Amino acid sequence: MSEDIKVSIRNLYKVFGAEPQAAMEHVRAGMDKADLLEEHGHVLGLKDINVDMHAGKITVIMGLSGSGKSTLIRHLNRLIEPTAGEVIVNGEDVLAYNEEQLRRLRRENMSMVFQKFALLPHRTVLENAGTPLEVRGYERHEWEDEARKWLNRVGLEGQDNQFPHQLSGGMQQRVGIARALTSNADIMLMDEAFSALDPLIRTDMQDLLLELQEELHKTVVFITHDLDEALKLADHLVILKDGEIVQQGEPQRILLHPNDPYIVDFISDINRARVLRVRSVMQKTDQPRPGMAGEVDADDTLESVIALSEGDTALSYRVMRNGQQVGILSVKELVRALVPTAAAEDGIRAKAG
């Protein structure tokens, strides 16, 4: 396994029911989720999942309700046992772990942030944040400073002695993130972590996660049903439907080259100008070219370039990253990228061929 792959899921299946191994024979023979339930009374949770999650990156698992995304994330720390397959973490198959190894994995290597916050109502904010270290046997005077450090880092300075019910939903979720960071786990599992929040607070929390990630480089597995959130956060995007992976890859590429009608429908209403980046549509070159209207950053949105150019399709810009030219962006090509039809049809034709 490559050194930068932190988690590797291989040929993972989950069938819910009285006789999952017997039902697996039908699944391996090609039976889909609906037929398995109707004919054999078993539920297909996951089917042949293969995903590599890279160290220091955010992998987003997304799909509609019932797609299997929450089932998948719970296999990583074995809150759910698979019917078949492998889950490799740091080069070790966690399915082979004994009870002690599994406890250590959950306490020290993985932290989890839940949609419903999962704070202990009778404990203060500081005590909630310090729970992971207290569970490991640390005395209060040993974990207080660490818990307070992360509370301050997520914007909760001075809230130590409050109780969860005294905080807003956004503040409670900040406590949940501080608790995960206090554990010092290098893998963070976030199951619909921001879904219960109001839109503006949700945006703030997404920005906070990206800010923390820039500093800490955690391996984050993030579950969502929201495409805008997925495109904003993901380094690697995995889209599920009925327990199967429909498409996975770099989110910008999926947006430009969807390979399935399901994905095309999913992205049809997205504001492409707001989520597509310059790097995705530029012509890659480090060679200077005369007549440029200015410079833009490779990670700028197309929306920002449209505003800069005032819609003048005759203009072109040098594309920069870390002070170096990496490409040329023509506003004319930018406008073409905003029309999804050609890219979508190309991707589906390639899959069919």
Instruction: State yes or no: pLDDT of 132 exceeds 70.
Output: yes
Q: Residue 268: what pLDDT?
A: 82
Q: Residue 267: what pLDDT?
A: 85
Averaged over 80-98, what is the pLDDT?
Answer: 95
Averaged over 138-151, what is the pLDDT?
Answer: 94
pLDDT band at 345 (very low <50, low <70, confident <90, very high): low
pTM recorded for the entire structure: 0.87
pLDDT digits (tens, 9 = 90+) for 194-249: 988 888 989 999 999 999 999 999 999 999 998 889 999 999 999 999 999 999 99
Q: Residue 2: what pLDDT?
A: 54
DSSP code per residue over 306-345: HHHHTT-TT-EEEEEETTEEEEEEEHHHHHHHT--HHHHH
Greater confidence, 343 or 227? 227
Mean pLDDT of the chain: 91
Averaged over 11-18, what is the pLDDT?
Answer: 96
Percent of the chain with pLDDT over 70: 95
Residue 69: exposed, middle, or buried by beta-carbon count in 10 A (0-12, 13-18, 19+)?
A: buried
Instruction: State yes or no: pLDDT of 346 exceeds 60.
Output: no
Q: Residue 343: what pLDDT?
A: 45
Averaged over 281-290, what is the pLDDT?
Answer: 93
Instruction: State yes or no: pLDDT of 341 exceeds 80.
Output: no
Q: How far is CA 173 from the centre of its chain?
A: 17
Q: Residue 196: what pLDDT?
A: 83
What is the rounded CA–CA span in Å between residue 62 and residue 229?
10
pLDDT digits (tens, 9 = 90+) for 101-123: 999 999 999 999 987 778 999 99
Both structure tokens of 83: 């019917």
Which residue segments constitute the domains of the chain, with CATH numbers given?
A: 52-249 (3.40.50.300), 272-337 (3.90.1280.20)
Q: Residue 342: what pLDDT?
A: 47
Instruction: State yes or no: pLDDT of 349 exceeds 70.
Output: no
pLDDT digits (tens, 9 = 90+) for 157-173: 999 999 999 999 889 99
Instruction: State yes or no: pLDDT of 347 exceeds 70.
Output: no
Both structure tokens of 131: 């729970």
Averaged over 59-71, what is the pLDDT?
Answer: 93
What is the rounded CA–CA span in Å between residue 60 and residue 235?
8
